[in-house]
Structure 1
């Protein structure tokens, strides 16, 4: 990653705040730096590529209109943007009855995440990856699947072949461990 890319990543909060003031150049730069990651989230959660493209457009319309609400003190810009993308995907799944990925989750053979784009290489992402890698495989897998696929407890329990109570416990324990690691 070049020095310029690292500086760009560090300035995401600045770009979001400028976008909140309807600075079109800041918005264009924000899009350039983050659209790959957000499109990846949309593609992973939605089966149809056209749905992922439509939702990505909705994400950036929301970012344009709500960027002024971003609070630097409360969170990381990429986390805020990712949450918008995930929520827009979940809205699309719920409201439109669009198919989502329903392949069984094989806890023992989860592929490693695809190569990361420059935004994910930022220090917060490295910390998250490190903390996720410290979780038990079953906890890590269901947390990733719940977040990226928008799966419910019922979906995950069915896909993994475990009782719903076990699934809830795995996710709860995993999130508690993840939180403890991230707060260190």
Structure 2
């Protein structure tokens, strides 16, 4: 496994070389970061084959657009993670079937993210006891309400996009999200997290 110590300065050097179409630098960049970016894609998409597809598309994008990276705006991993995130969300929007957010899978993924010693792009959020309480309360929601909330908040979809994704009327989605949020607030209040 590659070193978990991703040095931003080294990543910047490789990205600069990739702008000159240096295949060796690109391979080094890929070897150093692909495991982390794949894990990030997998957390969003859940399906391994989708995460693999998005990782490949993201690295093609990185190869073709390395010259658009601006070190003054973002760290290299932040820039690459944003590419993966955007491509993952694009894939979710393109899929014909609704994305199922399963409570067991969702809870396991959230808990794995919190318990993992591996650094993740979400480290900055510093998952706390509140995040654990939120995962527990989300797991208690009805599946459809949890799915609507997850699509809206975790996948950054509008209510109309959620309605389209779930193939339901927008009024139903708004009601489910509102009721789900009310139940979350009640649950979190009982757990002392609000």
Alignment correspondent of 1:152: 157
Q: CA RMSD in A?
A: 4.0
Alignment correspondent of 1:51: 50
1:19 to 1:101, Cα distance in 2 relative to 1, 3 A:
farther
1:158 to 1:147, Cα distance in 2 relative to 1, 3 A:
closer
Q: In the TM superposition, what are the counterparts of 1:1-184 in structure 2 within 5 Å?
A: 6=5, 8-97=7-96, 99-104=98-103, 111=111, 113=113, 115-117=116-118, 120=119, 128-130=124-126, 132-133=127-128, 136-137=130-131, 149-152=154-157, 154=159, 158=177, 161-162=180-181
Q: Which runs of 4+ in 1 moved over 6 A?
A: 138-142, 145-148
Alignment correspondent of 2:165: none
* Residues in 2 aligned to 1:80 and 1:140: alpha-carbon distance in whole angstroms: 28
1:100 to 1:44, Cα distance in 2 relative to 1, 3 A:
farther
* Residues in 2 aligned to 1:116 and 1:23: alpha-carbon distance in whole angstroms: 33
The DSSP-based 3-state class of the residue aligned with 1:74 is: coil
Q: TM-score, normalised by structure 1?
A: 0.62
Shift of 1:18: 1.4
Give the number of aligned pairs.
152
* Residues in 2 aligned to 1:36 and 1:54: alpha-carbon distance in whole angstroms: 14
* Residues in 1 aligned to 2:36 and 2:97: alpha-carbon distance in whole angstroms: 22
C-alpha contact (below 8 Å) 1:46/1:149 kept by paired residues: no
Where structure 1 has 5 or more consecutive residues not aligned to the other structure, the ranges are 167-184
C-alpha contact (below 8 Å) 1:92/1:98 kept by paired residues: no
Where structure 2 has 5 or more consecutive residues not aligned to the other structure, the ranges are 139-149, 163-172, 186-194
* Residues in 1 aligned to 2:133 and 2:63: alpha-carbon distance in whole angstroms: 35
Greater C-alpha radius of gyration: 2
* Residues in 2 aligned to 1:49 and 1:125: alpha-carbon distance in whole angstroms: 19
1:92 to 1:57, Cα distance in 2 relative to 1, 3 A:
same
* Residues in 2 aligned to 1:147 and 1:64: alpha-carbon distance in whole angstroms: 31
1:5 to 1:111, Cα distance in 2 relative to 1, 3 A:
closer
